[in-house]
């Protein structure tokens, strides 16, 4: 798959929410949707420039020359910006604009967008459960799942093989670092304790014979997308943002343990000291340079690590396993129908066109990533197979709160210092719990 090595959220949401006051110049200037003299309805759809729009453009061309021509519907994609598409959409939504018929949305913004979108009727059985549910609000579907993003554990197969043959050293190091003797395991069997012990094994501070300076690379920068990565640990240890009664639950034992996983890795030096400024690119660099033996990374990272021209040290040596604990955050890029648009029925027809395994199979063939098992199965490379497996079981979506995007930001603000050993864990989690309560209206 030829793709830019960017996590899919990075293509669209550098600025996401608070944009009501943004001027609309250049946003709807290209003209609103209309019906021409031949009775053809022109639909306008917002996307951000990038690989997803490139892939969608090919589907749109096929629609316009096929079913669209028959139904007298013509779709145009207006590519706004890679940095502020959602900000401009927020301004359009706030004025109940009819300039566009189809909006860009995502799992982490759909609850905020839902008041401005029409509910959709999809063939839910065609989709992986987590992506389709991540676009539901109060039981209604407001977006069609397209490109999904998950986290996977990428590891050096040559180095792990060495570790599996060195049980005495591994057991001694695990005793020193964790206070208990563990046996080396294959990464697809790891708990978070195994992750920590294995990171210590590949850290020269604990194992002078380690081929890497550090075992792993944490994405511990104060960044909302890093909160999505940390949520893997929280969910994997049985936690959640909310408890079964719908109340904030960030002071739970699971949350304490999840922070302490990061805190242990960082304070014991199992990751580089500058991990407190790390996110996706730094993790790619740490793995590709041989500075770390393994890391939890966005699924977009595999192509670069397995490319001999870009990563000669790791190409052909990258193994893929589920995130320790077996739980990965998932979100999906999506499209939704503007309820204030002039041609909602025609926009729904285009969504129906996309809601088909054959259409999504073409999307995958054109470089997209589908949220449908049947469509995704047309790709058999190891990374797509791992994505398919993660989406089939073990993925989760966080609660669809109207201010979910702000919750991620609050978690990063409140917890990132505690992740790297600063301050008190309980106080940090108490602040996070209070912020979630405020943002969730609890």
Give per-residue pLDDT as tens, 18-44: 433 333 333 344 445 577 777 899 999
Task: Round to the nearest angstrom and report the end-to-end CA distance of the chain.
Answer: 44
Give per-residue pLDDT as tens, 148-187: 999 999 999 999 999 999 999 999 999 999 999 999 999 9
Q: Is-contact 329 356, C-beta < 8 A?
A: no
Give the lowest-confidence range in 8-12, 253-257, 331-335.
8-12
Supply the pLDDT for residue 6. Answer: 54
CA angle centred on 302, ends 298 and 308, rounded to 5° = 150
Section 402-425 average pLDDT? 96
Q: Taking the mean position of all CA atoms in its chain, how far away is CA 211?
A: 31
Helix residue spans in 32-84 (DSSP H): 51-65, 67-71
Pick from 185, 195, 186, 232: nearest CA to 217 = 195
Nearest-angstrom CA–CA distance, 385 and 388? 5
Determine which helix (DSSP H) or strand (DSSP E) holds 76, and give its type and residue range. Answer: strand 73-79
- HEC sequence for 86-147: HHHHHHHHHCCCCCCCEEEEECCCHHHHHHHEECECCCHHHCCHHHHHCCEECCEECCEEEE
Supply the pLDDT for residue 76. Answer: 97
Give per-residue pLDDT as tens, 205-240: 999 999 999 999 999 999 999 999 999 999 999 999
* Residue recorded with tokens 């209070």: 434
User: Does the pTM of the predicted model rise above 0.85?
Assistant: yes
Residue 143 to residues 146, 369, 381, 418, Cα–Cα distance (Å): 9, 16, 28, 35
3-state DSSP assignment of residue 175: helix
Pick from 11, 46, 53: nearest CA to 27 = 46
CA angle centred on 390, ends 381 and 214, rounded to 5° = 85
Q: Say how many C-beta atoms besides its own lie within 10 A of residue 430's C-beta.
A: 14
Nearest-angstrom CA–CA distance, 350 and 313? 45
Q: Is 239 exposed, middle or buried (0-12, 13-18, 19+ CB in 10 A)?
A: buried
Section 399-412 average pLDDT? 93
CA angle centred on 369, ends 160 and 236, rounded to 5° = 50
Q: Taking the mean position of all CA atoms in its chain, how far away is CA 439?
A: 21
Q: pLDDT over 90 for what percent of the chain? A: 86
């Amino acid at each position: 798959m030829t793709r830019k090595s960017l996590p899919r959220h990075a293509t669209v949401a550098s600025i996401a929410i608070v944009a009501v006051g943004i001027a609309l110049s250049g946003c709807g200037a290209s003209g609103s949707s209309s019906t021409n003299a031949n009775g053809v309805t022109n639909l306008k759809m917002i996307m951000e420039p990038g690989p997803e729009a490139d892939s969608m453009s090919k589907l749109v061309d096929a629609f316009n020359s096929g079913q669209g021509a028959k139904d007298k519907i013509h779709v145009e994609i207006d590519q706004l910006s890679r940095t502020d598409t959602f900000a401009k959409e927020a301004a359009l939504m706030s004025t109940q604009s009819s300039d566009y018929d189809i909006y860009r949305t995502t799992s982490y913004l759909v609850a905020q967008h839902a008041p401005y979108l029409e509910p959709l009727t999809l063939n839910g059985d065609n989709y992986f459960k987590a992506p389709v549910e991540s676009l539901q609000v109060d039981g209604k579907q407001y977006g069609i799942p397209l490109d999904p993003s998950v986290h996977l554990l990428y590891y050096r197969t040559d180095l792990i093989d060495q570790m599996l043959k060195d049980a005495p050293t591994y057991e001694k190091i695990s005793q020193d670092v964790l206070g208990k003797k563990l046996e080396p395991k294959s990464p697809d069997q790891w708990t978070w304790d195994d992750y920590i012990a294995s990171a210590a094994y590949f850290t020269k501070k604990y194992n002078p014979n380690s081929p890497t300076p550090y075992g792993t690379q944490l994405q511990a920068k104060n960044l909302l997308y890093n909160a999505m990565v940390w949520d893997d640990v929280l969910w994997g240890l049985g936690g959640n943002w909310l408890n079964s009664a719908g109340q904030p639950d960030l002071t739970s034992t699971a949350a304490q343990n999840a922070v302490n996983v990061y805190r242990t890795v960082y304070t014991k030096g199992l990751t580089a000291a500058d991990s407190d400024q790390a996110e996706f690119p730094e993790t790619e660099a740490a793995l590709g340079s041989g500075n770390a033996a393994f890391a939890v990374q966005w699924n977009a990272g595999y192509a670069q690590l397995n490319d001999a021209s870009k990563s000669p040290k790791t190409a052909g040596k990258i193994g893929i396993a589920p995130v320790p604990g077996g739980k990965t955050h998932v979100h999906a890029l999506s499209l939704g129908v503007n309820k204030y648009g002039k041609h909602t029925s025609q926009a729904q027809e285009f969504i129906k066109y996309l809601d088909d395994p054959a259409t999504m199979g073409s999307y995958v063939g054109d470089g997209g990533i589908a949220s449908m098992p049947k469509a995704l199965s047309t790709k058999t490379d190891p990374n797509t197979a791992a994505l398919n497996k993660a989406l089939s079981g073990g993925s989760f979506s966080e609660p669809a709160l109207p201010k979910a995007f702000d919750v991620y930001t609050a978690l990063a603000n409140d917890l990132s210092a505690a992740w790297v050993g600063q301050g008190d864990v309980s106080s940090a989690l108490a602040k996070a719990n209070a912020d979630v309560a405020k943002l969730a209206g609890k």
